[in-house]
Chains A and B, each alone.
Chain A
Amino acid sequence: MPVIDIYVCEDDPKQLSQVVEYIKNYLLIEDLDMRVRIATDDPNEILDYLNNNEIDKGLYFIDIDLGENKINGIELAAEIRKIDFEGKIVFITNHSEMVFLTFKYQIEALDFILKDYPEKIQGRIIEDIDLCNRQFEESASDSEEYYQIKTGELVRSIKVSDILFFESSPVPHKVIVHLKDGQFEFYSTIKRIEDENESFFRCHKSYVVNVDNVESVNKHTREATMIDGEKVLCSVLGTRTLVKLKK
């Protein structure tokens, strides 16, 4: 299994050495295949490294306030995301800098550690290292098929098995994807989506269904019922083909 590189960015030298010590101690005790690649107070050092080297799996511990005249930790994390899509990011922050939703949805951070409770920092770092390890292992053995959708700046990887169907919005070039646990809109066309995965089938002018998630097809009402009970309209030809596909 390849090595996981750990990067730490923290502008307070005392806290920086403290965090690095916690990490190194744990790696030593557990004999993990990880190493601290960069520990710095300068966010650019990390970005320069990522830009100029072949990178392995990464785990990043980032402070939010990185001092004046420097980008802040969230901006750094956003930059890292552009280069290292799979990297695990942990924010180290105090309560007043907490932006929970931003961490979670913009950066998709692994975790955040509050400086306000110094006695808990070490335990949290250890938990995060383990969590990171576990997640990388799981994704390595993951045989799931993913479908990628761009919303805003983020490219979202969605399990094909979670997709129920796509529906064209009344607004041109907008498509609504219906998932097992929700729905969202993005910019694309039904026509384009139809060919992007072999499980997708265009059963109607405005719908593309994931055939694997069709529960049943009613030939009389010309409706397909999805596994969550939602019904999708089908054309005459669409109904016929879908019935055949489901056999």
Chain B
Amino acid sequence: MAILFIQLLLFFLNTKVLIKDLRFKRVDLFYLFVNIPVMFVLAEYGQLATIIGMMGTLLTYLLLLTKSFKISIAIAAIDYSIGVLLDHVIDIIFRIMKLGNYSWFYNSSILIWGIVLAVGLYYFLQSDLENNLQKDYQFSSTEIIFTSIMLVVTMSLITVTEAMNGNKLQNVIYNFVIVLLFVITFIVVHIARTKTINKDLQLREQKVRNESTNRYLIQIEQHYNELRKFRHEYQNTLLSLEEYLRTDDFEGLKKYYNNSIKPISVDLNQEKYKFEDLSRIDNKEIKSIVFNKLYAAQLDGIKVSFEAKDEIKSFQMDSLDLALALGIILDNAIEETRDQEHGTIQVGFIKEVAAIIIIVQNSLIKNNIPVWKMKERGFSSKGSNRGFGLKNLSEIINRNNRATLETMKLNNYFLQKITINTKG
């Protein structure tokens, strides 16, 4: 009976580790007061009943805990596999070394190694899965449910057949090898899959970068053509001016200035060259994200401007993080202004002696929603997921000690500012 209790305890421990939340919940009382007693009752009816009952009660508890069938069955499968593997290894070792008679020794071995495994699993999950759990890496629901059910059935069959054959050593070793191969196959598949996806992501990123470079090039070419045209016009203007001066035709000159030169200078003030300051940002990722977001905003009919008076070479902050943060900020700005009649987004990079300041300001339709509400996850001012990224944004800023964030709502605009401390 002690062994049953230990295994129930290990299942519980592994579940807690796998859902990555070690705190005690009210549902855990269900495990304590329903699962454990039920199992002790079922144990009276033999090993078969115990194994099936174990699965049923564990799944019920997991469903109550996670409220998701997919996660429950996956955790049950992993819990169960770990349990079976551990049980088999210790069993085999004890039988081969003929230690079988000391049941307390056997039990405590299972307990200790079970805890060691759980702790190992905990640190493994902490380190590795954080990155792998991004959407692209996740298996689809059917994949997970199918594999998990398969795993659970296989494990159950193994233990049931063993129980029916009286747990012969040969049988146990044989089953252990199968289970081990099973687990190794899973791990290999997982690693291979992760690698493929990584490569995929890299390719996709490269493609996006190429596209953005192309777009940038096209814009620059356009500007070049305009510049050529302008130079041509300028030369013609000079010639005409010279002619007026040569003939002392002051009245004609006046007329010519008002009709031909003045309109051009007004033209020059139009915002055709609004991205020219981007050339002062000496960082491809940042340049690319700002250009692409503002370009997209422009296509949406939003009036955009970009200013950077000083050359900025180093941001002294992880540029991928900064690009991510800017992406979120700009997306929010676009989301907010898209439906406005005269929406504007202004972006500025300001270099101070000891700091770089990045400002994104967008027009705002007057409302009374305080900033803290806008920052809440999933908050929406018009049904969309505005603000969803704002929590992510705080996380990104928080892992960069030099950066601070400011979010202000002033009369008719929303201001988001990143200050990067560059001193020291």
Nearest-Cβ distance from residue B146 to partner chain A, whole angstroms:
39
Q: Is B309 an interface residue (CB 8 A)?
A: yes
Do residues B372 and A230 form an inter-chain contact, with CB atoms below 8 A?
Answer: yes
- Residue pair A153, B352 in contact (C-beta under 8 Å): yes
Q: Is A99's CB under 8 angstroms from B309's CB?
A: yes
CA distance A9 to B351 in the complex (A): 23
Is the beta-carbon distance between B357 and A105 smaller than 8 angstroms?
A: yes
Q: Which of A206-243 contact B (CB under 8 A)?
A: 228-230
User: A183 touching B371 by the CB < 8 A rule?
Assistant: yes
For residue A181, CB closer than 8 A to chain B, the reply is: yes
Within 8 Å of chain A (Cβ to Cβ): is B219?
Answer: no
Q: Does B268 contact A (CB under 8 A)?
A: yes
Known: A105-B357, A181-B371. A170 touches B269 (CB 8 A): no
Interface size for B (C-beta < 8 A) is 36
A165 to chain B, nearest CB (A): 10
A186 adjacent to B404 (CB under 8 Å): yes
A153 to B355, CA, bound (A): 7
A197 within 8 A of B: no
> Which partner residue on chain A sits nearest B355 by CB separation?
A152
Choose from B350, B353, B397, B419 the contact partner of A151 (Cβ within 8 Å). B419
Q: Determine which of B359, B398, B421 lies in contact with A105 in the assembled complex, contact meaning CB atoms within 8 Å.
A: B359
In the assembled complex, which residues on chain B have CB atoms less than 8 Å from the CB atom of A53?
none
* Pick from B269, B354, B398, B415: contact of A169, CB under 8 Å: B398
Identify the closest chain B residue to A152 (Cβ).
Answer: B355
Report Cα–Cα, A99/B421, bound state, in Å.
22
Shortest beta-carbon distance from B347 to chain A in Å: 8
Q: Which residue of chain A has its CB nearest to the CB of B401?
A: A171
Residue of B346, B354, B406, B409 touching A101 (CB-CB under 8 A): B346
In the complex, B348 has a CB within 8 A of chain A? yes
Contact (Cβ within 8 A) B421 A152:
yes
Closest B residue by C-beta to A179: B408
Residues of the B chain whose Cβ atoms lie less than 8 Å from the Cβ of A184: 404-408, 417
Q: Is the CB of B408 within 8 A of A100?
A: no
Contacting residues, chain A, for B347 (C-beta < 8 A): 101
Q: Knowing A99-B348, A151-B419, A152-B419, say if A182 contacts B357 (CB, 8 Å).
A: no
User: Nearest chain B CB to A174's CB is how many angstroms away?
Assistant: 7
Please tell me if B305 contacts chain A, counting CB pairs below 8 Å: yes
Number of A-B residue pairs at CB separation under 8 A: 94
Q: What's the Cα separation between A22 and B373 when bound, in Å?
A: 48
**A152 close to B398 (CB less than 8 A):** no
Q: How far is the CA of A242 from the CA of B404 in the complex (A)?
A: 30
- Asked if A170 contacts B398 (CB within 8 A), the reply is yes
Closest CB in chain A relative to B81 CB, distance in Å: 36
The distance in angstroms between the C-alpha atoms of A178 and B373, with both chains bound, is: 12
Is B361 positioned at the interface, with any CB of A under 8 Å from its CB?
A: yes
Contact B404 A185 (CB under 8 A): yes
Decide if B370 touches A228 in the complex (CB within 8 Å): yes
What's the Cα separation between A179 and B409 when bound, in Å? 10
Provide the bound-state CA to CA distance between A106 and B347, in Å: 14
A102 to chain B: which residues have CB within 8 Å? 307, 309, 348, 350
How close is B3's CB to chain A, nearest CB, in angstroms? 43
A168–B266 alpha-carbon span in the complex (Å): 51
Given contacts A100-B305, A169-B398, A229-B370, contact A182 B353 (CB under 8 A): no
A94 to chain B, nearest CB (A): 8
Task: Looking at the assembled complex, report how far the CB atom of A149 sits from the nearest CB atom of chain B, in whole angstroms.
Answer: 11
| Smallest CB separation, B412 vs chain A (Å) | 12
Residues in chain A near residue B357, CB distance under 8 A: 105-106, 152
Provide the A159-198 mask, 1 if CB < 8 A to any CB of B, else 0. 0000000000111001000111111111100000000000
A100-B352 contact in complex given A152-B357, A171-B401, A184-B408, C-beta closer than 8 Å: no
Shortest distance from the beta carbon of B413 to any chain A beta carbon, whole Å:
11
Q: B299 within 8 Å of A by Cβ?
A: no
Which residues in A have their C-beta under 8 angstroms from that of B359? 101, 105
Q: Point out the residues of chain B lying under 8 angstroms from A101, CB to CB.
A: 307, 346-348, 350, 359, 361
Known: A152-B352, A230-B372. A183 touches B268 (CB 8 A): no
Closest to B265 in A: A116
Residues of A within 8 A of B307 (CB): 98-102
Interfacial residues of chain A within 74-104, with CB under 8 A of chain B in the complex: 74, 78, 95-96, 98-102
Residues of A within 8 A of B269 (CB): 95-96, 116
Chain B contacts with A in 326-353, Cβ cutoff 8 A? 346-348, 350, 352-353
CB of B139, distance to nearest CB on chain A (Å): 31
Supposing A99-B309, A178-B372, A230-B372 touch, asked if A106 and B398 sit within 8 A by C-beta, the answer is no
Q: What are some 30 contacts across the A-B interface (CB < 8 A)?
A: A78-B352, A95-B269, A96-B268, A99-B309, A100-B346, A101-B307, A102-B307, A102-B309, A105-B348, A116-B266, A151-B406, A151-B419, A152-B354, A152-B421, A153-B353, A153-B355, A171-B398, A174-B398, A174-B401, A178-B372, A182-B406, A182-B407, A182-B408, A183-B372, A183-B406, A183-B408, A184-B408, A185-B397, A186-B404, A228-B370
- List 11 other contacts, CB 8 Å, given A78-B352, A96-B268, A106-B357: A96-B269, A105-B417, A106-B352, A151-B419, A152-B419, A181-B408, A181-B410, A182-B371, A183-B371, A183-B407, A185-B397
* B residues adjacent to A (C-beta < 8 A): 265-266, 268-269, 305, 307, 309, 346-348, 350, 352-355, 357, 359, 361, 370-373, 397-398, 401, 404-410, 415, 417, 419, 421
Going nearest first, the 6 A-B pairs with the smallest beta carbon separation are: A182-B408, A101-B348, A184-B406, A185-B404, A152-B355, A95-B269
